[in-house]
Amino acid sequence: MPPELSWAERLRRALASIEPGRRFIRELSVPTVHADPRNPYALFRLQREVLQDLTARGGDVCFEFDFTHCKFLSQHAVAFIGGMIRLVEHRGGNAIIRERTLQPAVRRNLLRNGFLEEFARQGGRDTGNSIPYRQHRVGDEEAVIEYLERQWLGRGWVRASAELSSAIVGTMWEIYANAFEHSESPVGVVSCGQHYPNAHKLDLTVIDFGLGIPRNVGRHMQPRRLTAESALQWAFQEGATTSHTGVARGLGLTLLKEFVKLNNGTLEIFSNDAHAVIDRQQETFGRSEEPFAGTLVSISLRCKDEYYFLASEKGRQN
């Protein structure tokens, strides 16, 4: 077996394989991103820098992702960076991961969740507490459902009946379906999750790099004008739709919101200039500190001893 190539050699070969004009190298320092999804603004700023360079140079740029200062990378950061790499490639640029800059704990996590297998051809058999990194495109309904059933709710971290689990998975599928139908994301939808046993929580993040919910709603509502936060709030209403088929499903989050509140979990969305948080205490819609060209949905469930089931199953549970 040939020896593993150094990142410098990988970079040299990548640059040799592209046109002579594509010689601009942009180093991106990946920050430490903790498990709290309420602070993704460093990632959004990173995306803004990438898009500015791609626009200015017409894609003739190679991005190096340097992890020297990254001590921890949460699931929403893993999904975000993976999606951004695919976005760079879609726009004609190149992206390289400086593997030697990965801290041991970060490398171990990226092996387990499949990120390094996807982007550096390195894999690990032990997924541990990771919900693997995945990229899905239009038409992947069966694959998405299987992913949510087997990798997310089906691993026993949250105790729920088969009927309730199936209903929640169906609700989560609506998030993917809306992204496929409305977002015009050039890289589809990316996901990654993590079970944190010490914190007793299960996190899953779903991201697209498309129009964003407020932009899509604004386009549908013309000539009426809504603020970004008002547009996001409108999209949460049951029956709201921008579908050309006229199927009124909104974001399909009614059951999911109810379960999140019952479970004392959190549902959070960032899209364009808007930000929404839903938990047991509140449903708030506001303005983001940093805009995001796309939509990020993060759900955090508490892993407690309670057993959850649908009200219609009550007689059968006794």
Q: Tell me the CATH number at 190.
A: 3.30.565.10
Asked if 236 and 263 sit in the same domain, the reply is: yes
Match 């200039």 to its residue by tokens. Answer: 273
What lies within 8 Å, CB to CB, of 132 at 6+ separation is: 113, 114, 147, 151, 192
136: tokens are 């899905």
Count: domains in the chain: 2
Q: What digits encode the pLDDT tens for the residues 185-244?
A: 999 999 999 999 999 999 999 999 999 999 988 887 765 678 899 888 888 876 655 554
In this prediction, residue 246 carries a pLDDT of 40
In this prediction, residue 241 carries a pLDDT of 57
Confidence of residue 284 (pLDDT cuts 50, 70, 90): very high
- The average confidence (pLDDT) of the chain is 86
Side chain identity at residue 224, one-letter code: R
Q: What digits encode the pLDDT tens for the residues 74-109?
A: 999 999 999 999 999 999 999 999 999 999 999 999
The answer as to whether 1 is a domain residue is no
- Domain, as residue range, for 99: 7-128
Side chain identity at residue 2, one-letter code: P
Q: Using alpha carbons, list the distances in angstroms from residue 312 to 161, 223, 308, 316.
A: 11, 43, 12, 9
Asked if 247 and 155 sit in the same domain, the reply is: yes
Q: Residue 172 and residue 256: Cα distance in Å, rounded?
A: 8
Asked if 93 and 80 sit in the same domain, the reply is: yes
Q: What digits encode the pLDDT tens for the residues 34-53?
A: 877 567 899 999 999 999 99
The answer as to whether 2 is a domain residue is no
